[in-house]
Structure formats: structure tokens, C-alpha cells
Structure 1
Amino acid sequence: MAEAHAAVAFTFTVSSEGLYIDINKQAWAAVLRSGLRAGKKRIARFKNSVYNQVYPFHPSSWFFFAFGIFAATYLGYDYKRSPIPYIEEALKRRVAYLSLYAGFTHYFHVPACLLFSLMLWFCGSFLNQLFLRLLLSYTGWMYKPRGQKSALVFIWMRLVRLAKSRHPRLYGYQYSLPSLPLPSLRATLDRYLLSVRHLLSVKEFEELTIESEVFRKGHGRKLQFFLWLKTWFTSNYVTDWWEDYVYLASRDPIMANSNFYGLEWKFTWPIHPTQAARAAMITHLLIKVRQQLVREEISPIEVNRLVPLCSWQYERLFNTTRIPCLVKDRLMHLSDSNHIAVYYRGRFYKCPLVVNGHRLSAAELE
């Protein structure tokens, strides 16, 4: 109870002598530091979100659009045929109290040009994303012999490099990646039969072939139609089912089958002599990786430095726990976390990572 009382930042008591107010300056300072830290993270997430929404465009490219619009209007371009006059009229209706200054039409012309350039900028970024998604939908390059490039693959590579921009953030490609293609029902059944061909006898394989043909003409068509509908509403029609029924519904131990781990002495002899020192160093390095993930400073994985892969799984690499349930577990993801759980000799301990706004070093963690 003493620790809980010390954590209270503001208390007051009413007695016969009057009102007594007690302000804990240290607690208030901790609250302010926590609020500032949370505010900085929200601002950083918002900036990264804007950057990812318009990638491959850069946010600074909007100034070029705005400069082009202003230059065209002030150099004599007849902007009456553009949406700028309609935007001006809409602004005048919205701010009717500025009608006293109707003679100064540039008061409305400037924001109208800015809004029009912003619209063009968003449309351009959206078209660029569609073009890049169309290019990344091509998979013929994977079936070419390594080191041999046909004219089609060479042109495709050049177009992809032109559509991309340099130094993408971790989630920069997420709005430009194509959806997982849905194979035809016949192709799925043929691949399944090919995978079990050498595991069955000749008679069993013939029976399975007949059953697959019956399935293709019957229930398979209906199920394929439902899958086709799902592809219109999700970018990957397999992810949620795989997560629910293969990962969360699995009853196998997750410590050795699913959880990731780190070893200090994989290639060299342990540098730190004690177990606590090794655990503190690994934790310190993992926290650095988490900071890079939050700031999106890690570059996305690209095949042959050209084709990007999906990065959404990094989102739940940290601050995520699996809540055990009877039939199927569930995941809980937190936006932020300032402690870790340490398992030692059959007990769990809560170890803080931040104390009074200061992130602990490896030596302090030890």
C-alpha cells in the first residue's frame, strides 16, 4: 500500500481545520514525462502513416504540385475550366462571414489552388500505387533461369525501379503490394494430386482422382465462388484462417514450436559470464530493434533488391501476447509496453524497462 500511496500525484483531505491539498511533484513529473512520450509516439505514427499512404510519392512532392498550379494561374492560364472556381465558390459559402472582403478574391483563390494541388497530389500518388501494384503482379521473372534476362523481364525491372522511390520505410509498400492471387479449382486439385502421388498406391490414387473430379463438379465450385468473393474484400484470403485454425487453435507447446528466441553464443563463446548479464544484453538489443520498428527505420525485405515483401507481421513482433483459451487462443496487442516478463525458477517477474522516463541500459537491467 505504501507504493500505491506514493504513486498518487494529487490528494486532498477535508477536516475541521479546513482543506488540505498534497501534491506529489515526482508523481506529476512522471505523469508529464509519460504524456510527452506518448504524444511524441503518436506524432511519429501519424507522420509515418501519411508517408506510407502516399508512397512512392514523398510528402515534400506536394510543394511541386502547388508551385505548378500557382505558376500556371499567375502566368495567364485560363483556370476557369478547372475545378478551382468551384472550390472558391464552396469556400465562399463555407465562410460567408468573409463576404465583406469579396473584393479581395485572392483570399479564396490561394486556398482553392492549395486544395486543388492537394487533390492532384493524392490522385497522382494513388495512380502511382496502382501502377506499381500492376507491375508487382507479374511473377514470370521467378521462372526464368538465374542470370538470364529476357527483354520482357529487363523492361519490367526498369519500370519497377522507375515506379519506386528510394529509401522506403518499413510499411511503405503495403498499399502497393498486389493481393494474393486465387488459383483455379482445377489447378489446386492437380497440385494436390501431384503432392500425394508417391504416398499412395495405384488403386488409392485412382480412387482419389475420381473423388477430386466429383468434388470439382460439386461442392468445389461453390467453395471456389466463396473464395473468389473473399478476395475482393481482403488482400490475403488465407491469413486470417491460418492464424485462427493453424496457429491459435493449435494445442502444441508454443515455447519450442512458435516462439522466437535469441542466443548469445551461437557462433562464439559467451562474452558475459552470468545468465543475468546475457539476458540483459539480449533484452537491451531487442528493445533497440523495437525502437527501429516503431520509427519504421528498418528497410522492407526485397527479393533481388527489387520486389518487396509484406511487412505487416513486424507490427506484432513486440507488445503482443497470446492469451490461452479452452478451444482457441486469442492475441492481445498493445500500442506500447514498458516492461518485460521474466520467467525464473517457476515464477514470473515483472521487470521495468523505463524508470522515471529513463530507459534502462543493459547494465541497469542486469
Structure 2
Amino acid sequence: MAEAHQAVAFQFAITDEGISLHFDREAVKSALRSYFRGHGKKILRLRAAIYSGVFPASPVSLVVILALVTGLWLAGYDLSLGVFPALLSLARWIGYSGTYLTIIFLLSYSIFLWTLFSYLQQFTLKLLLMYKGFMFEPRGKPSLVTQLWFKSVQIVTGRQRPQLYSYQRSLPRLPVPRLKDTCRRYLQSARALLNDDEYREMEGLVKDFQEGPGKKMNAYLYLKSWWANNYVTDWWEQYVYLHGRSSIMINSNYYACDNSGFSLTSLPAARAGLICHIQARLKDKIETERLAPLVSNGIPLCSAQFERTFGTTRIPGIEADKLVHRPGAASNHVVVYKSGRWYCISLYHKKKLLTPVDLEWTMEQIMEDSDAELRPGEEHLAALTAADRKSWAEMREKYFMTGVNRTSMEILEKAAFMIMFDDLEPSLYVEVSIIHNELMITINSPCLPFHHFCHSRN
């Protein structure tokens, strides 16, 4: 009821004695709570970006550095090596003076030292994470060097709780293998597929490549590895994954979720509502970086794969496809597929996440709507994405760029994820399902007669 309170929060009237102003304090508080609730995620994202940007340093270390610099300055010691007094003299010469100017300089210099301190910690952590000796030791019997290394990592990272992307700046770069080793491994893998004559011919080709264009190509990789944490990812995604023109249905991998392994209820609508609620909370934690990063035996793993888990779509193109990611409120709904019909469900009401009970009631309405008349072509809409990418791009450009088709396609592509209800009888079976260009191997139990969800849409 915050909006209703806000509407009557302020009342004023013009009388002979002047303007009479009245306001309701509770209404004002309610309106302010509504405002901050709407901007809470933006504040959390900004806070997470600051924490991740300086990790393993923390804002507490900024306060310590500021107190140290200020205390030494008041005691007559200058940590800036003469830079700070020179700036003060220059400011006074220009015409600016006063205590506030000293405070600004002290704060600015403390932030500068704090930034250097955070980069030094990140660089130290990156050097420590380059150690790989633990990988070649027996499980449960680490050497003294590994134990000292693990303690050093703990000391550098401190006790603060990392955000989802806190370790990204400190992860080691992907090393470029030597060209000689790459060619040797290729010949080893090809030996089992070739006879003696073919293998000798392949050895000659590999030698020509190694002494010719291979040197230049490997030099490009070395050059790129200096400014890219992973010299493979973007090129692979752009020139291999997105440039593939064949059908995606059996040629690529997709996010999917099979049976979760536990059953609190046998009602499909209740399970679907609960899954929707849990996935929405996970999406919110990822976007605000409140999800803890994966750390295995003290080694942090890359969290880049979490960024496009929800609200990501592959748009078909004539020459190459395009990945589109819509974070935040741009993908605050889900699409449900049941008996050839498509439904759109909003996950939020007045910026508040719907409860599992509310979502269960909505799923029940969808299941009871199974006798409704199908729209022309609605049942076979997903089959269009099973074609090769060029044909699908041409059909999308021709039939889905105007009118209700464009609106419907945008709803599908902007969804956080999709839920597909199964029409088969509840029983234990293994099924390969192809739904909206999603290939899923699903193991269903008697308590779960529907597919959970799929993230990517093509």
C-alpha cells in the first residue's frame, strides 16, 4: 500500500492566511521505503563492483590508511615524499586555501595509496595462484611447500567474504603452450587414426607448419595473452560457436536441469512454482554478486560463466549469430510451455519477488488452460529454430519483425529462463526432449512429470 500512502502523503491548501501544508510522517516513510526498495539492486551492484574491484583489499583498509596518513601528517611526517606540500603550495598560489583543502588532499592521497595497496595484493595473489605443485601430490598428503603456499594464500586474501567476481582480477592468465609441444601432441593424437604412409605424410605437413605459418600464429597468441586473461574464449565464441551455420539442435551444448534428486511434493505446479522462485533468487544473487565464488581446495575457480546464466539469447544471423544478454529488470519474467501453448509469467509484483505459493497458483491456471484453442502455428513455433542458422535467420527477418509476432518473439527472447511441462504419464524413464531448439536428456521420476527449465534460447 506504499503507493496509496504516497498519494495522500502531502496535502496543501491556499487560504486567506497563506498556504497550509500537511503531511503524514508514516506515509512519507512508506514512500521512502518504496523508493529505496526500487533502487536497492542498483546500490548492491555498485557496492559489489567496488568490493570486487579492490579485493583482496577491503574498505576497512582504506580507513586504516586514511588514519595513518592523517596521523603522520599531523605529527610532522610526510608520506608523499614532498608531493603533498607542493600541491598545497600550488593551491595557495592559485588562491585556494583552508582546512577543507587539506582534508581533500589527505583523502585523495589515502585513496591513491589504497588503490596501489589493492593492486599489490591482487598481483601477489595472482603470483601465488600460479603454483601448480599441489596437482601432482597424493590426495590428503600435501608437501611442506604446498602447506606454506596454502597459508600464504589465506594470509593475502584475509578473512573478508569474497563476492562472486572478487577473484577475477587475481586469476592467472591462460598460458600459451609452446608450438613444438602442440605439434608433438597433435601427432600423438593422430597416430592411431593413420597408417604408416599417411603418418609420414602428416609428419611432413606438421613440420612445414611448425617452420612456416605456425611461428607467426603462435606469436599472435603470445601477444594477445598479454592483454587477455583467456586468449581462446572470445575467438572461439565469435569464430567457431557463433559462426556455425548448421542446426544447433544436436551440435551444441545447452544449460538444462534434470531431476533434483529430492521430492517434497508430487504436484507439478507446486514444484514448478518452487523452482521458479529459487531460480529467481539465484538470478538476483548473481546480478548483485552475493553468490559465493567456487573455491576448490583453496583454489578459486573462474566465475565468468555465471554472468550469462539467465536472460541470455542467441539471435540467428545470416553470416554469424549474436549473443544478447539482458540483466536485471530486462528479464524479470519466465516463459512456460504446456501442450503446445506459450505463457509469460512475471516473477515480480511491484518490484517484490512472488512467493512459491503465488507462482504455484499461476502454474495451476496454466495447467487448467490446456483445453484452450491453439493459435495458428503456435504448437510448431519451436520447430523453426531446428533449421540451419541461415534459414532460421531469414525466416525470423521475414515473419517476426513486425506486429504480434515481433512482440511474442521479444517476450520469448527476453525471458530469464523457460519451463516446459511434460505431457507424458508420470513414470521412471529416460527421454531425449527437443523443445524450442533445446536438447535435454531428462530422467523423470513419478513425482516429477515435467522438465525443469532451460536457460538459453536460440
| Partner of residue 215, structure 1 | 209
Question: What displacement does 1:274 show?
Answer: 3.8
Q: Which residue of 2 aligns with 1:324?
A: 316
Name stretches of at least 5 consecutive residues in structure 1 with no aligned partner. Answer: 1-31
Q: 2:274 matched to 1:260?
A: no
1:18-37 equivalent positions in 2, closer than 5 A:
none
After superposition, give the CA deviation of every residue in 1:138-157 in whole Å (9 maximum; x if it has no partner).
Answer: 22322233334334333322
Return the alpha-carbon distance in structure 1 between the equivalents of residues 268 and 80 of structure 2: 74
> What percentage of residue pairs aligned between the two structures are identical?
36
CA contact (8 A) 1:34 1:357 kept: no
C-alpha separation between the residues in 2 aligned to 1:74 and 1:356?
52
Q: d(CA) in 1 for partners of 2:260 and 2:292? A: 25
User: For 1:281, which of 274, 282, 290 is the aligned residue?
Assistant: 274
CA distance, structure 2, for counterparts of residue 189 and residue 218 of structure 1: 13
Q: Is the 8 A contact 2:130 2:172 kept in 1?
A: yes
Residue 122 (structure 2) aligns with: 129
Closer/same/farther in 2, CA of residues 36 and 303 from structure 1, 3 Å limit: same
Instruction: Report the Cα offset of residue 78 of structure 1.
Output: 5.0
TM-score, normalised on structure 1? 0.80
- 1:175 is paired with a residue whose SS is helix
CA contact (8 A) 1:323 1:330 kept: yes
Give structure 2 stretches of 5+ with no counterpart. 1-31, 361-458
Distance 2:90 2:302 in 1: 41
Q: Structure 1 158/274 Cα, relative in aligned 2: closer, same or farther at 3 Å?
A: closer
Higher helix share: 1
Q: Hey, what does 2:85 align to over in structure 1? A: 85
Distance 1:299 1:141 in 2: 23
1:92–1:108 CA contact under 8 A, matched in 2: no
> What's the offset of the Cα at 1:297?
2.2
Partners of 1:51 and 1:224 in 2: CA distance: 37
Distance 1:196 1:314, change over 3 A: same
Pairwise CA RMSD: 2.7
What is the CA-CA distance between 1:302 and the residue it aligns to? 1.6
- Does residue 357 of structure 1 match 2:348? no
Cα distance in 1 for residues equivalent to 2:83 and 2:175:
38
Say how many residue pairs are matched: 326
What is the correspondence of 1:51-70 to structure 2 with a 5 Å cutoff? 51-70=51-70
Alignment TM-score, normalising by the size of structure 2: 0.65
Which runs of structure 2 are paired with 1:195-344 in the superposition (5 Å)? 195-250=189-244, 251-254=246-249, 257-263=252-258, 265-268=259-262, 270-304=263-297, 306-336=298-328, 337-344=331-338
Distance 1:86 1:310, change over 3 A: farther
Measured in 2, the distance between the counterparts of 1:158 and 1:232 equals 29
Q: 1:198 Cα shift?
A: 2.2
Cα distance in 2 between the residues matched to 1:184 and 1:120: 39
Is the 8 Å Cα contact of residues 129 and 171 (structure 2) preserved in structure 1?
yes
Q: What is the rounded CA distance, in whole Å, between the counterparts of 2:36 and 2:74 in structure 1?
A: 44
- In the alignment, the residues of structure 2 paired with residue 233 and residue 176 of structure 1 have an alpha-carbon distance, to the nearest angstrom, of 14
SS at match of 1:332: strand
Residue matched to 1:157: 150
Q: 1:257 to 1:116 in 2, by over 3 A?
A: same
